[in-house]
C-alpha cells in the first residue's frame, strides 16, 4: 500500500517534517489525494481545490505540484473534508470526500471525524491503524465541473504605492491598500530597526 510515490512509513515521516506531527487528517488526506490521482489520466498537471483549511491542504501540497504559494491549490473553506483535482483548461475533475455512511463502519475514524470524543480520550494508535487499513475506503468520488469564476485566474492588474502605508499593493483594490481601508490584522505597529 502506497501514498503517492511513498510507502506509508515514508509518507508519515514526510508529514512529520512538514506538518509537525503525523496528524490523522493529513494521513487520511494522503490516501484521498492518492486515490484521486489514480482515477485521473496521468502525465498531466491538475489544479487543486480544497474545501477545508485543516490538514488536507498539507496532504495536497506534499503529494501534488500544487501549493498555496504557486496558486495551483485554492483553499475554499467550506468545512467539508473534501478536495478536487481538475483540469484548469476546462474545469473538469474528480472530487473525493469523506462518505458519512462508509465512515460509520470505522469506530475510531468516525469518532475522530465527528469529534465525538475529546482528543485525550481518542485511541490514537487504533485511529492510525484504522486509517491505514481503510485508506480511501471511507471516501466516495464525484466527477465535477468547477465553476468558471474559480477557473479564471483573476489578474491583480497593475501595482501602485499606497499613499497611507507607502507599500506596494494591487491598484484595482482602490485608492488605498486593503489594510489601510480597515482590513489590517494589526492592533498597532511601530517601525523597528
Interface with a second copy includes 107 (CB under 8 A)? no
Rounded Cα–Cα distance for residues 110 and 102 (Å): 9
Please give the span between the terminal C-alpha atoms of the chain, in angstroms, as a whole number.
Answer: 53
Q: Is the dihedral of CA 162, 164, 167, 170 positive or negative?
A: negative
Q: Are 35 and 64 in contact (CB under 8 A)?
A: no
146 belongs to the binding site for a second copy (CB under 8 A): yes
Compute the least distance from the CB of residue 53 to a second copy, in Å: 6
What is the C-alpha separation between 60 and 120, in angstroms, rounded?
A: 27
Q: Please tell me whether residue 176 binds a second copy under the rule CB under 8 A.
A: no
Of 6, 37, 68, 123, which one interacts with a second copy (CB under 8 A)? 68
Side-chain half-sphere exposure of 42, counting CA atoms within 13 A: 4
Burial classification of residue 22, based on how many CB atoms lie within 10 Å of its CB (0-12 exposed, 13-18 middle, 19 or more buried): middle
Least distance CB 132 / a second copy (angstroms): 19
Residue 42-61 contact track with a second copy, rule CB under 8 A, x = bound: -------x-x-xxxxxxx-x
Report 2-21 residues binding a second copy (CB under 8 A). Answer: 18-20
Of 33, 113, 131, 134, the residue at the interface with a second copy (CB under 8 A) is: 113
> Do 132 and 118 contact (CB within 8 A), yes or no?
no
Residue 57 Cβ vs a second copy, minimum distance, rounded to whole Å: 4
- Asked if 156 touches a second copy (CB under 8 A), the answer is yes
Name which of residues 75 to 94 contact a second copy (CB under 8 A).
Answer: 75-76, 78-82, 84, 91, 94
Amino acid at each position: 500500500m502506497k501514498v503517492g510515490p511513498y510507502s506509508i512509513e515514508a509518507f508519515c515521516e514526510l508529514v512529520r517534517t512538514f506538518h509537525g506531527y503525523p496528524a490523522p487528517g493529513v494521513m487520511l488526506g494522503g490516501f484521498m489525494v492518492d486515490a484521486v490521482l489514480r482515477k485521473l489520466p496521468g502525465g498531466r498537471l491538475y489544479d487543486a481545490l480544497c474545501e477545508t483549511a485543516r490538514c488536507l491542504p498539507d496532504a495536497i501540497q506534499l503529494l501534488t505540484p500544487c501549493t498555496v504559494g504557486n496558486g495551483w491549490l485554492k483553499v475554499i473553506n467550506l468545512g467539508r473534508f473534501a478536495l478536487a483535482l481538475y483540469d484548469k483548461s476546462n474545469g473538469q475533475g474528480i472530487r473525493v470526500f469523506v462518505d458519512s455512511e462508509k465512515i460509520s463502519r470505522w469506530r475510531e475514524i468516525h469518532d475522530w471525524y465527528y469529534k465525538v470524543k475529546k482528543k485525550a480520550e481518542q485511541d490514537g494508535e487504533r485511529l492510525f491503524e484504522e486509517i491505514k487499513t481503510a485508506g480511501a475506503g471511507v471516501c466516495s468520488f464525484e466527477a465535477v465541473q468547477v465553476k468558471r469564476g474559480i477557473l479564471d485566474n483573476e489578474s491583480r492588474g497593475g501595482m501602485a504605492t499606497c499613499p497611507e502605508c507607502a507599500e506596494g499593493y494591487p491598484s484595482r483594490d482602490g485608492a488605498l491598500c486593503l489594510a489601510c481601508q480597515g482590513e489590517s490584522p494589526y492592533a498597532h505597529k511601530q517601525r523597528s530597526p
